[in-house]
A and B are shown apart, each in its own frame.
Chain A
């Protein structure tokens, strides 16, 4: 297993290298540039040219890339144009929020999606099944930002839920790890834990809708496939209890494609997080990226896109590893 993980990590290096070239070239090809972004409304062509010279942005692009790569390899992604703080520090500061939100969204998506999908398959053609199909279709079709605004404007006030942020402003919560809930538990500041959970509810629901819909549909389809397999008929003819067949044979085998989907959806959550975090001012990496895009923050964009790619590669590797855990036959192969 260790050799497998190392091999996958080594395979990721060329992927990330090519991506870094593409991202670098793409950002440089966009109109404007860091100098224009820094100088804002007062930018004149002369001032921009001067700043480009100071920053070395008037040098050939391959030289700029080599310098950039050299810095990145030492962990230096430069400073944000927006906050003037090191981007790496920003990523570390904002990462816990995204992890917290993604976990909450995945918790909702997996916790509801698998049982719903299973029930829909088991009672195929029934009310639950039809209802699930319609609801999941809506879940996939509704844009994340629209749903976010919908919940923010219509549910926050009636339910007494916060509409933005991670904690109530001015709440004296001790910050240890950056994970608001975990910190609250560790320090036994229970009001902070509850406050953090309340702040998570609406953004987590928003972010969970697409993965929930996808997981539900994949589970349903997968369970239906497995239920038609020969070994299920064999198990039934052997006289095994229905519960055992469902739990040990149907669900376990049906979970393989679901695991793949969960892995892919985890990667996609980062994309959804950009919109969700922006709508709810949930200060995670998505928020950071959205702000970076809006305010032409080149260093931030570069760092976050590359980091996103790295996370995607790692998550996919974890999915491959989880195959082995769910189905021992994969390990043997």
Chain B
């Protein structure tokens, strides 16, 4: 009995202690709520956008992925940008731009009176500071993460690591406050469109220096970035950075004044919701006001609920890759053409892809300068396909067909469905198909792009900027294990088109290249799919962009 009493006393003491602890903690823990927040002058309200993944950090030059760019596009500006809803190049920080005849000098006339969100002035010196910063970036780690800079400008003042490219960039001169001249070592077809790339956003030189933006250090199998990239990104955009709450998965940006444009909203929150179904439910319940990449199967349902499904003009391509090195029969152009005739692309696009998608007739989408509507056409004709196969002595052709699993891409919403539809068509023209499914993150791209193990495969591309070279140059600009062919005439034609002077000559050169590609048929273009984004009924002013370049400064929430 005594033991029982002692135990009970101990228990009461413990409860008392816990209570005292809770009270004392409660006394220490004060609410940090901003009681004035609700009463302040708020006019535009807050929009919450459901993002599909985490941003990486906010220094655009070290970024290459869409979820980060969605945010940095609101905080920063580039010299040029895409006209809303199109891939046309228009001015942004630059009002006018002029290339020299040889394409090696670009003169930008800048907007006046623009300020960075840290209240420092934007001028030609700031432009040159940014270009020089990128060119002179030190450290193999930092250079390795400047993916787009490496693609477009090819090299640095001093290449580190194993980088070997000769730099395209030469120098930048600030002629006066509003004139910046960028000198290049060679002309490149990527310009002026590449100046729209969000990686080339102009940052505040003061903030870059203050927060050691160039510090990129290795940390285990990854890199760590500066305070500038994580806490103080500073641009001239209509919004300025407020906070990045990792635990909540929320990035908040607020209206900024002094930049190129003025936002109508007070605040914009990007909330990371990777699961598509969860994003849909969150929109339904009003927790978010919009999200990216709704499933095409949900379009009707979303519209019934009053949401607006905004279809983006296509800026991507889905193709059936052909690896000539892996199967001798595929070296015969008649066999490759037979594949094109044998696939019922019209039916596939109609039954498997989202509204607005179209059959691809070449390897650049229609929005790109250099698209050629006079290329050879290959409408669905299974009989002709069989004849071509017979003529090439390949009537009993067997193809190993690689397709990815565990992935959805904007150009390939459902790889398994795509594979099934195409392989059924191939079987109808007498081709035996051996299916090889590989996880996207489990070696698919290694197998098809590096090892070239496939005969045919599914892949695609989403464009970065309005230049045909960004598509056909990427695919067929040189010999690659993915396609397994060597066609010096085609490679040099692409190279010449890339170097052709800006304007008509450039466009015409790529039109010719596109015809040459379709004559040679190194792969079969399948479709130009159209991804979408969805916003709630109260949201007005979102313009869907082919390049996912949606700017939210025009958005209102009613």
Contacts and interface: CB of A to CB of B under 8 A. Distances in A.
Nearest to B267: A170
B305 to A, nearest CB: 11
A79 B249 contact: no
B446 A31 contact: yes
A84 B221 contact: no
Interface stretch (A34-42, A127-135, A226-234): A34-42
Given A38-B145, A278-B274, A82 B54 contact: yes
A30 B230 CA distance: 30
B29 to A, nearest CB: 4
Contact of A53 (B150, B161, B250, B443): B161
A11 interface: no
A163 B285 CA distance: 8
A225 interface: no
Contacts of A185: 22, 26
A24 to B, nearest CB: 11
B229 to A, nearest CB: 8
Contact of B287 (A40, A149, A169, A290): A169
A14 interface: no
Interface in A269-319: 278-281, 283, 290-291, 294-296, 298-299
A280 B219 contact: no
Contacts of A326: none
Name which of A80, A93, A96 has the most chain B CB atoms within 10 A of its CB. Answer: A80
B53 A295 contact: yes
A79 B48 contact: no
Contacts of A37: 441
Interface in A186-216: 186-189
B278 A79 contact: no
Given A82-B56, A168-B287, A281-B275, A55 B218 contact: yes
A280 B34 CA distance: 29
A283 B249 CA distance: 8
Given A36-B446, A50-B144, A55-B218, A174 B282 contact: no
A163 B247 contact: no
Interface stretch (A15-23, A152-160, A236-244): A152-160
A51 interface: yes
A166 B54 CA distance: 17
A174 B31 contact: yes
B493 interface: no
Contacts of A47: 144, 147, 150
Given A187-B29, A281-B249, A294 B274 contact: yes
A77 interface: yes
B442 A32 contact: yes
Contact of A152 (B64, B145, B274, B281): B281
B271 interface: yes
A323 B30 CA distance: 40
A290 B281 CA distance: 20
B224 A86 contact: yes
A164 interface: yes
Contacts of B278: 152, 163-164, 279-281
A84 B56 contact: yes
A166 B250 CA distance: 12
A140 interface: no
A159 to B, nearest CB: 11
A247 B249 CA distance: 47
A168 B248 CA distance: 10
A183 interface: yes
Interface string B500-525: 00000000000000000000000000
A226 B274 CA distance: 48
A324 interface: no
Given A165-B287, A174-B33, A281-B249, A54 B161 contact: yes
A281 B273 contact: yes
Interface in B179-220: 218-220
B29 A172 contact: no
Name which of A30, A34, A49, A50 has the most chain B CB atoms within 10 A of its CB. Answer: A50
A86 B219 contact: yes
Interface string B530-545: 0000000000000000
A71 interface: yes
A320 interface: no
B298 to A, nearest CB: 12
Nearest to B46: A170
Contacts of B273: 164-165, 281
Given A79-B222, A84-B56, A54 B141 contact: yes
Contacts of B449: 45
B223 A79 contact: yes
Contact of B281 (A42, A45, A164, A172): A164
Nearest to B273: A281
Contacts of A31: 442-443, 446-447
Nearest to B25: A186
Given A81-B222, A82-B54, A149-B277, A156 B285 contact: yes
Contacts of B13: none
B169 interface: no
A93 B446 contact: no
Name which of B48, B55, B161, B222 has the most chain A CB atoms within 10 A of its CB. Answer: B222
A69 to B, nearest CB: 12
A57 B221 contact: yes
Nearest to A303: B220
Interface in B290-312: none
Name which of A38, A87, A281 has the most chain B CB atoms within 10 A of its CB. Answer: A281
Contacts of B288: 169
A169 B274 contact: no
A94 interface: yes
A84 B225 contact: yes
Contacts of B30: 174, 187
A94 B247 contact: yes
A83 interface: yes
A183 B443 contact: no
B57 A84 contact: yes
B32 interface: yes
Given A32-B441, A163-B285, A291-B54, A283 B220 contact: no
Contacts of A80: 222
B269 to A, nearest CB: 6
Contacts of B151: 42
B84 to A, nearest CB: 25
A23 to B, nearest CB: 13
B221 A34 contact: yes
Contacts of A82: 53-54, 56
Please give me the 5 A-B residue pairs with the lowest Cβ-Cβ distance, nearest first: A78-B220, A31-B443, A163-B281, A186-B29, A187-B31
Interface of B: 22, 25-26, 29-34, 37, 46, 48, 53-57, 64-65, 140-141, 144-145, 147-148, 150-151, 161-163, 218-225, 229-230, 246-250, 269, 271-275, 277-279, 281-282, 284-285, 287-288, 441-443, 445-447, 449-450, 461-462
12 contacts: A31-B442, A31-B443, A39-B64, A42-B147, A55-B218, A84-B230, A93-B246, A163-B284, A165-B273, A167-B248, A170-B269, A291-B54
Given A79-B224, A80-B222, A157-B284, 7 more contacts: A50-B161, A68-B220, A78-B220, A81-B221, A163-B278, A188-B31, A281-B249
